[in-house]
């Protein structure tokens, strides 16, 4: 984008903000600053400073194995608990295309977990893909948008061509925990033209039971890749 385009883009943005002042995605109040989320909502985020084991969902440090479940460690670095107002911000990102908070959320995630994420020595970030039809309807994949913002902060490339979603299933959050593993099984395919061996950080907006990221990790492992962690905005039930 040249300077004229970026100036006209900024002017258009300023005019739109004047005509339609942006609302805080957490509480729907008018924003009186350039911040993407109001200070009240930011103050109410239930933030984490610890990682979770994706397998047993208990808090973990960074060891080769989870001391609770004994599985190879798959740490989840999530910014906070999936409750309001963070939950409302995630919903606005996902369903209404309000992407402005992503910068703030990615920065906070890296501020809290940057060292621990770096210790996983990943080669790339891979967003959990949407089914192509759903991505076409929505116009974007929120996990991919988050991965691209994180890519700059973590200095890691986005590899969004390793995994595709071939099956259409019911959203995991609509199902009881006991049915989620079966619902997600076989939904992804790893693309086999890529030679394996990459250390991958998966990126998703919300991780709940962990079945989706575990299934993605399983499929990627069949191509010789190793998922070494998961990054998400929120962790919920």
- Residue 55 interacting with Zn ion (CB under 5 A): yes
Given a contact cutoff of 8 angstroms between Cβ atoms, the answer to whether 88 and 27 are in contact is yes
Ranges assigned E (strand) in the chain: 51-53, 59-60, 75-81, 124-127, 163-165, 188-190, 199-207, 226-235
> Minimal distance in Å, beta carbon 42 to Zn ion?
8
Distance CA 54, CA 44 (A): 25
The SS3 of residue 132 is helix
Given a contact cutoff of 8 angstroms between Cβ atoms, the answer to whether 213 and 204 are in contact is yes
Stretches 9-17, 33-41, 76-84, 142-150: which one binds Zn ion (CB under 5 A)? 33-41
| Stretch 65-104: interaction string toward Zn ion, x if CB under 5 A | -x-xx-----------------------------------
> Minimal distance in Å, beta carbon 68 to Zn ion?
4
- Residue 35 interacting with Zn ion (CB under 5 A): no
Contact with Zn ion (CB under 5 A) among 36, 48, 51, 53: 53
| Stretch 141-180: interaction string toward Zn ion, x if CB under 5 A | ----------------------------------------
> Minimal distance in Å, beta carbon 56 to Zn ion?
3
ω before 85 within 30° of 0 (cis)? Answer: yes
Q: What are the tokens at 29?
A: 């109040």
- Residue 221 interacting with Zn ion (CB under 5 A): no
Selection from 69, 68, 65, 158 nearest residue 106 by Cα:
158
- Residue 105 interacting with Zn ion (CB under 5 A): no
Contact with Zn ion (CB under 5 A) among 36, 41, 214, 223: 41
C-beta closer to Zn ion: residue 24 or 202 = 24
Distance CA 73, CA 76 (A): 10
Chain contacts with Zn ion (rule: CB under 5 A): 24, 26-27, 38, 41, 53, 55-56, 66, 68-69
């Amino acid at each position: 984008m040249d300077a004229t385009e970026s100036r006209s883009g900024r002017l258009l943005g300023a005019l739109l903000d004047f005509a339609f002042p942006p609302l805080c995605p957490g509480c729907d109040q008018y924003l009186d600053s350039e911040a993407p989320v109001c200070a009240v909502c930011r103050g109410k985020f239930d933030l984490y400073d610890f990682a979770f084991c994706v397998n047993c969902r208990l808090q973990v440090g960074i060891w080769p194995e989870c001391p609770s479940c004994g599985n190879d460690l798959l740490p989840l670095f999530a910014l906070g608990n999936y409750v309001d107002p963070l939950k409302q911000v995630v919903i606005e990102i996902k369903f209404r295309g309000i992407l402005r908070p992503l910068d703030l959320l990615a920065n906070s995630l890296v501020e809290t977990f940057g060292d621990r994420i770096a210790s996983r020595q990943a080669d790339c970030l891979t967003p959990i893909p949407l089914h192509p039809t759903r991505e076409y309807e929505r116009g974007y994949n929120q996990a991919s948008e988050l991965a691209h913002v994180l890519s700059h902060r973590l200095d890691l490339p986005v590899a969004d061509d390793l995994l595709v979603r071939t099956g259409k299933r019911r959203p995991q959050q609509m199902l009881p925990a006991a049915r989620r593993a079966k619902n997600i099984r076989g939904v992804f395919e790893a693309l086999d033209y890529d030679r394996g061996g990459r250390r991958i950080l998966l990126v998703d907006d919300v991780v709940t039971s962990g079945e989706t990221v575990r299934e993605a990790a399983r499929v990627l492992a069949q191509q010789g890749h190793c998922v070494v962690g998961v990054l998400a905005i929120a962790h919920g039930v």
